[in-house]
Amino acid sequence: MFSKFLTATTVALAASLVSAQTHSDCDPTKKDGCPHDKAVGAQIVDIDFRKGASSFFKAADGTDLKYDSGLGAVFTINKETDAPTITSNQYIFFGQVDVTVRASQGVGVVTSFVLQSDDLDEIDWEWLGGDATQVQTNYFSKGCTDTYDRGGFSPVSDPINNFHTYTIRWTPEKLDWIIDGAVVRTLTNSGLSGCSGYPQTPMQIKLGTWVGGRSDAPEGTIQWAGGLTDFSKAPFYGYYQSIRIQDYMGGQGATSASEYYYGDKSGTWQSIKIVNGSSTGSATIASSTTTTTKPTTTAKPTTTSSTSKHTSTATTLTTVSPTRIATNNGTATTSPAGSSDKPTATTATTVPTASQTGAAVKVAGNLVAAGAAALLGFLAL
């Protein structure tokens, strides 16, 4: 994801940072007895942060968000150790997440929208506070950092001063990164393993900002972030206006889901088991074999409210009928659960080129992409 060619030493520094900070509380592919993942399930979750906080997310230690009636959740950085982060309490097993965000300003300041699983599959959007021309995308399989050739760049109109809606649409067969309704990059599940593997296990949602240009960061990370952050210009504000979350529950027509768990240590989507039914009703086990919000303002925050007070009107839940998920020409479609357009896990593909998807994939940037994308020690709180 770097925009400049970097030295082998820089790559090594970034890689060591990745290994140290990518984290899972309990990786079910390596340990027994990991807790089940609570599912988002059949209800679509709509959260408007302009109305206040939502209990759907848990704030990391040290996170103190404010809420603005026009801008949404205000993520503030005053010093280099600040890393305001919120993480969903529930998981999606394939699905679509739409986030309307205005990235933080400030050289070296990173804004991140990340999906991450217990076995360290990961899908990323990241913005650099000193780059008002593009956004960076990336993905990881099982926390693998042996290679750094998966990152991409996509142009976007001034993401620091303008709100845009960024979408991750993720099915068993392919993964789309979307800006304001337009697909900018697609990854197809080729069935590969290792670093080139497809992200495929249930994921939490993480939103945050953090400092890549801090004085004690490895040189590779500082270069990637655009340089050292000048805190004489602080505070730096990032704004998350709204988020919409739909859980595809495996994408194979499940009627409901209350939990997900790993049936074995393979880490494949086919091994994930779905606990069907509400948490208070009788549950059955199934094998998983198988809208954009337009921003209204770009002003600085004027009124705020504390994170400690939950505003119930911020979160709206809508129940949807069970569907199979299909995609066509960049548009998400649904079909009845009994239909035949079943996604497969083995469609051949390559990582898309810029001419194919609009994502400007840069080799040098990809080499050190992990340096920032996996500074998720900050986001894995």
201-233 per-position pLDDT tens digit: 999 999 999 999 999 999 999 999 999 999 999
Of the pLDDT bands very low, low, confident and very high (cuts 50, 70, 90), residue 24 is: confident
User: Which range, of 34-43, 111-120, 229-238, 251-260, averages the lowest pLDDT?
Assistant: 251-260
In this structure, the number of other CB atoms found within 10 A of the CB of residue 43 comes to: 15
In a domain, 91, yes or no: yes
Of the pLDDT bands very low, low, confident and very high (cuts 50, 70, 90), residue 320 is: low
Calculate the alpha carbon distances from 85 to 61, 63, 76, 218 in Å.
8, 6, 10, 21
In a domain, 280, yes or no: no
Residues 262-298 have pLDDT tens digits of: 999 999 999 999 998 543 333 445 544 333 334 444 3
In a domain, 38, yes or no: yes
Nearest to 107 by CA among 129, 76, 81: 129
CATH code of 118's domain: 2.60.120.200
Of the pLDDT bands very low, low, confident and very high (cuts 50, 70, 90), residue 149 is: confident
pLDDT of residue 357: 33
Mean per-residue pLDDT for 350-369? Answer: 35
In a domain, 380, yes or no: no
Question: How far apart, in whole angstroms, are the C-alpha atoms of residue 257 and residue 272?
Answer: 12
Question: How far apart, in whole angstroms, are the C-alpha atoms of residue 240 and residue 251?
Answer: 28
pLDDT of residue 363: 32
User: Which range, of 146-155, 178-187, 289-298, 317-326, averages the lowest pLDDT?
Assistant: 289-298
Calculate the alpha carbon distances from 256 to 264, 286, 339 in Å.
22, 10, 18
The pair of three-digit structure tokens given for residue 195, joined into one six-digit string: 């670093």
Question: How far apart, in whole angstroms, are the C-alpha atoms of residue 378 and residue 116?
Answer: 13
Mean per-residue pLDDT for 151-166? Answer: 97
Residue 332, domain extent: 8-253+289-373
- Establish whether 173 is a catalytic residue: no
β-bridge partners, 207: 86, 113
Highest mean pLDDT among 93-97, 144-148, 335-339: 93-97
Question: How far apart, in whole angstroms, are the C-alpha atoms of residue 301 and residue 283?
Answer: 45
Mean per-residue pLDDT for 300-308? Answer: 46
pLDDT of residue 240: 98
In a domain, 270, yes or no: no
SS3 351: coil
Nearest to 206 by CA among 140, 123, 315: 123
Question: How far apart, in whole angstroms, are the C-alpha atoms of residue 271 and residue 57?
Answer: 27
pLDDT score of 319 more than 60: yes
User: Which range, of 8-22, 34-48, 110-124, averages the lowest pLDDT?
Assistant: 8-22
pLDDT score of 301 more than 80: no
User: Which range, of 1-10, 31-40, 247-256, averages the lowest pLDDT?
Assistant: 1-10
In this structure, the number of other CB atoms found within 10 A of the CB of residue 284 comes to: 11
Question: How far apart, in whole angstroms, are the C-alpha atoms of residue 34 and residue 247?
Answer: 21
Question: Cα–Cα–Cα angle for 32, 36, 42, nearest 5°?
Answer: 155
The pair of three-digit structure tokens given for residue 39, joined into one six-digit string: 């599912």
Mean per-residue pLDDT for 153-179? Answer: 98
- Output the average pLDDT for the chain: 78
More confident residue, 171 or 146: 171
Question: How far apart, in whole angstroms, are the C-alpha atoms of residue 227 and residue 217?
Answer: 11
Question: How far apart, in whole angstroms, are the C-alpha atoms of residue 41 and residue 91?
Answer: 8
In a domain, 1, yes or no: no
Question: How far apart, in whole angstroms, are the C-alpha atoms of residue 20 and residue 352?
Answer: 29
Question: How far apart, in whole angstroms, are the C-alpha atoms of residue 111 and residue 160?
Answer: 10
Nearest to 297 by CA among 165, 163, 164: 163
Number of domains in the chain: 1
Of 122, 173, 219, 259, which one is the catalytic site residue?
A: 122
Of the pLDDT bands very low, low, confident and very high (cuts 50, 70, 90), residue 39 is: very high
Of the pLDDT bands very low, low, confident and very high (cuts 50, 70, 90), residue 302 is: low
Buried/exposed 143-179: b ≥16 CB within 10 Å, e otherwise: bbbeebebbbbbebeebbeebbbbbbbbbbbbbbbbb
pLDDT of residue 246: 98
More confident residue, 71 or 353: 71
In a domain, 204, yes or no: yes
- Establish whether 126 is a catalytic residue: yes
In a domain, 97, yes or no: yes
Of 126, 173, 219, 259, which one is the catalytic site residue?
A: 126
Question: CA 214, 215, 220, 226: dihedral to nearest 10 degrees?
Answer: 50
> Phi and psi for 151 in degrees, rounded to 5?
-80, 160
pLDDT of residue 147: 77
pLDDT above 90 covers what percent of the chain? 62
Nearest to 208 by CA among 370, 63, 39: 63
Q: Contact 166/182 with Cβ under 8 angstroms?
A: no
Q: How far apart are the first and last CA of the chain?
A: 23
In this structure, the number of other CB atoms found within 10 A of the CB of residue 20 comes to: 12
User: Which range, of 187-196, 215-224, 317-326, averages the lowest pLDDT?
Assistant: 317-326
Mean per-residue pLDDT for 168-176? Answer: 98
